[in-house]
Chains A and B, each alone.
Chain A
Amino acid sequence: MTDMTQPAKKDGTGAGRGAVEVPAARRESLVPGTPLLEVDDLHIEFHTRDGVAKAVNGVSYSVSAGETLAVLGESGSGKSVTAQAIMGILDMPPGRITAGSVRFRGEDLLTMTPRARRAVRGRKIAMIFQDALSSLNPVLSVGYQLGEMFRVHEGAGRKEAREKAVELMERVRIPAARQRVDDYPHQFSGGMRQRIMIAMALALQPDLIIADEPTTALDVTVQAQVMDLLAELQAEFNMGLILITHDLGVVADVADKIAVMYAGRIVETAPVHELYARPAHPYTRGLLNSIPRLDQKGQSLYAIQGLPPSLLRIPDGCAFNPRCDRAQDVCRTELPRLVPVLDAQGADLPGRRSACHFWKETLHG
């Protein structure tokens, strides 16, 4: 026990002590809209038996305080790998970051020393995982696991950590928190476990939370409870939130802006309302058309033909071209860049970008 807290205390008195004071001050001095986190031209590949899998191929996005960015994509699109690189929990090897930078408040996380990185992880940037049952340690009580955040990062004593764990559990509205603090993860329902994950992410009041499919394993009524809680806490602490999901419904409910990923690239970014109203990339449009609606029965569904590509063999040109009904010769040879999108009069549409040679036709045609 002492062995565990000792280095953590040092951390707390060294770089950490100052860091505890700074966020509040910084938070105030931060101009609204200035990015909290900027990912720039990130490339990640995995060396596998069958060759090099290019999971992320030049991803750039940014999040500001109080803002929710939804990263939307199917399995294998690179959305989770990007998040793992930001958190510094990417398995390396087999993973390798070959280019790019991740700047948090202007500092590049990728070139930091492991110790400096540890001070950011959990304290400034926290993560919520999809599967709470496998993310929590089954042989430790939830109170112990929540308290660990305070013991390790802030050098709190056992009693104090337990008290703070109870406070956190009350904060995420777990009923009878004081009685349940010594319960084990299996004694909680799926929704309650996800609340505990949220509590753990919130423990040190981070500036940014990355939520990787936070409600995918939950039932709809519980999903609604958890998403509401997350949105409320985000507003209260003015946190930035990166929401990684494949669910177009969840995105529409909570996001401010959206980045759509396909085969390791961002193919479209837009403010949430505009993306749903007028997509500027054929993949986004196809996705929106392929989901059935709740409020009407509708006819036959539009289906995007084919399958997402293997990351070992991403097609030349636009990665989406074999599945696109608009594809021309240029799409098979030339990689479309993520360019700003203009409206019919030629005026700039703020925040909107598309990586399609034919974005004009897709948007206006």
Chain B
Amino acid sequence: MAEPILEVKELVKHYPLTQGIVFKRQVGAVRAVDGVSFELAKGETLGIVGESGCGKSTLAKVLMNLEKATSGQVLFKGEDITRLSGAGLKAVRRNIQMVFQDPYTSLNPRMTVGDIIGEPFEIHPEVAPKGDRRKAVQDLLDVVGLNPEYINRYPHQFSGGQRQRIGIARGLALKPEIIICDEPVSALDVSVQAQVINLLEQLQNDFQLSYMFIAHDLSIVRHISDRVGVMYLGTMVEIGTEEEIYSHPTHPYTQALLSAVPVPDPTGREQRERILLSGDIPSPANPPSGCRFRTRCWKAEERCSTEVPLLAVPAALSGAAAHESACHFAEVRDVIGTG
């Protein structure tokens, strides 16, 4: 693998739960992200999947330093950005940008498209000198496939897919090296999703971008990602290349998640193996002891409630199955029938 551009080590984000009005005391914590480690290489796309409440969006916010990490490190080219503030943080943030889920609420309705896309230049004037800004914004519009003449329009004059392109143009403005996409297409219609996905892929090739692609749609994540990480209740339970995760999943949660995806092909729908999980995801304020998935796992034994499984390559597995998985009883089970 190429040189990692971003390294995340044992990242933790807890939100304290307090009681009392005058004398606040901490009575617990919501463990939104609880010890997550991974690397992101230059030009690579890392997909992060998981159900709502698993901490994937909190992870994105901590990486952007929009939320202060409780502990752990986020190394951007070797520099720990969780310790930075002021000018140092501002410089790093130029290189990590974000595209948000909802293009209807993430664009200010009172600003023109030109002002929205040009706003990053106000904060980082060194990227585009004042005289050139209008031209720079028009270039960006062109890059994301919008008519440069639309520069004076307002967000409400655009459709959902076009608005997401505006959000992407804003993310590209400062020529970042990493873009974090948090559910970038889930608010869009099916026929428009493909357009935006193709745009993201093309931009990655043109500008050598690294993506962290957070989504709950497993098919889209497979399509766009080189490597995929699966999160459950604040922890990474399995991580590997897209082939390893989808065709050779070893963690029971990954297997259940994959088997639950409705496949748009009715042939053999009766034969398709389905792992139906019982119950709901437990509260991150009070996660189960040991393995966090054990309360919904069909393999759970005594050991799972006492010993936390570490994210490591299981010794017993080889070949494509040998990728990092946090399960005491990791074994391959092909649930989507790729053979």
Do they bind each other? Answer: yes
Q: Are A74's CB and B191's CB within 8 A?
A: yes
Chain A contacts for B201, CB-based, 8 A: 300
Chain B contacts for A296, CB-based, 8 A: 338
Does B280 count as interface, using CB distance less than 8 angstroms?
yes
Q: Are B218's CB and A301's CB within 8 A?
A: no
Q: What interface size band does chain B fall in? A: 35 or more
Complex CA distance for A189 and B283, rounded to whole angstroms: 11
Closest to B242 in A: A297
Kindly specify which of B62-70, B174-182, B257-265, B302-310 makes contact with the partner chain.
B257-265
Q: Are B280's CB and A291's CB within 8 A?
A: no
Kindly specify which of A126-134, A269-277, A353-361 makes contact with the partner chain.
A269-277
Kindly specify which of B27-35, B74-82, B219-227, B319-327 makes contact with the partner chain.
B219-227
Q: Are A250's CB and B197's CB within 8 A?
A: no
Cβ-defined partner of A248 (8 Å) among B197, B222, B264, B337 = B264
Known: A224-B274, A291-B194. A249 touches B218 (CB 8 A): no
Q: Can you list, as one digit per residue, whether each of B237-260 has a CB less than 8 Å from chain A (1) or not (0)?
A: 000001100110000000011101
Q: Are B265's CB and A307's CB within 8 A?
A: no
Cβ-defined partner of B220 (8 Å) among A190, A220, A292, A307 = A292
Q: Are B198's CB and A308's CB within 8 A?
A: no
Q: Can you list, as one digit per residue, whether each of A282-314 has a CB less than 8 Å from chain B (1) or not (0)?
A: 000011101111111110111111011000000
Q: Are B190's CB and A291's CB within 8 A?
A: yes
Chain A contacts for B267, CB-based, 8 A: 273, 276-277
Complex CA distance for A192 and B279, rounded to whole angstroms: 9
In the complex, how many angstroms separate the beta carbon of B19 from the nearest chain A beta carbon? 20
Chain B contacts for A272, CB-based, 8 A: 266
In the complex, how many angstroms separate the beta carbon of A259 from the nearest chain B beta carbon? 15
Does B297 count as interface, using CB distance less than 8 angstroms?
no
Within 186-243 of B, Cβ neighbours of A (below 8 Å) are at 189-195, 197-198, 201, 216, 218-220, 222-224, 242-243
Complex CA distance for A334 and B197, rounded to whole angstroms: 34
Does B85 count as interface, using CB distance less than 8 angstroms?
no
Does B41 count as interface, using CB distance less than 8 angstroms?
no
Q: Are A252's CB and B269's CB within 8 A?
A: yes
Complex CA distance for A292 and B260, rounded to whole angstroms: 16
Q: Are A75's CB and B266's CB within 8 A?
A: no
Does A247 count as interface, using CB distance less than 8 angstroms?
yes
Complex CA distance for A253 and B219, rounded to whole angstroms: 16
Q: Are A297's CB and B222's CB within 8 A?
A: yes
Q: Are B260's CB and A224's CB within 8 A?
A: yes
Q: Are B264's CB and A192's CB within 8 A?
A: no
Q: Are A294's CB and B194's CB within 8 A?
A: no
Does B276 count as interface, using CB distance less than 8 angstroms?
yes
Q: Are B264's CB and A189's CB within 8 A?
A: no
Complex CA distance for A115 and B39, rounded to whole angstroms: 65
Cβ-defined partner of B262 (8 Å) among A219, A253, A297 = A253
Complex CA distance for A155 and B201, rounded to whole angstroms: 61
Does A333 count as interface, using CB distance less than 8 angstroms?
no
Known: A220-B216, A276-B266, A296-B338. A287 touches B261 (CB 8 A): no
Q: Are A221's CB and B51's CB within 8 A?
A: yes
Q: Are A287's CB and B190's CB within 8 A?
A: yes
26 pairs from A and B in contact (CB 8 Å cutoff): A191-B280, A219-B216, A220-B262, A224-B260, A224-B262, A227-B262, A246-B189, A249-B262, A252-B262, A252-B265, A252-B269, A253-B266, A255-B266, A273-B266, A273-B267, A291-B194, A292-B223, A294-B246, A294-B258, A295-B246, A296-B338, A297-B222, A301-B223, A303-B197, A304-B191, A305-B195
Known contacts A225-B277, A247-B262; 20 additional CB pairs below 8 A are: A175-B279, A189-B280, A192-B280, A221-B256, A223-B262, A246-B189, A248-B190, A250-B262, A252-B262, A253-B262, A276-B264, A276-B265, A292-B224, A294-B336, A295-B338, A297-B242, A303-B191, A304-B191, A307-B192, A308-B189
B residues lining the A interface (CB < 8 Å): 51-52, 159, 161-162, 189-195, 197-198, 201, 216, 218-220, 222-224, 242-243, 246-247, 256-258, 260-267, 269, 274, 276-277, 279-281, 336-338
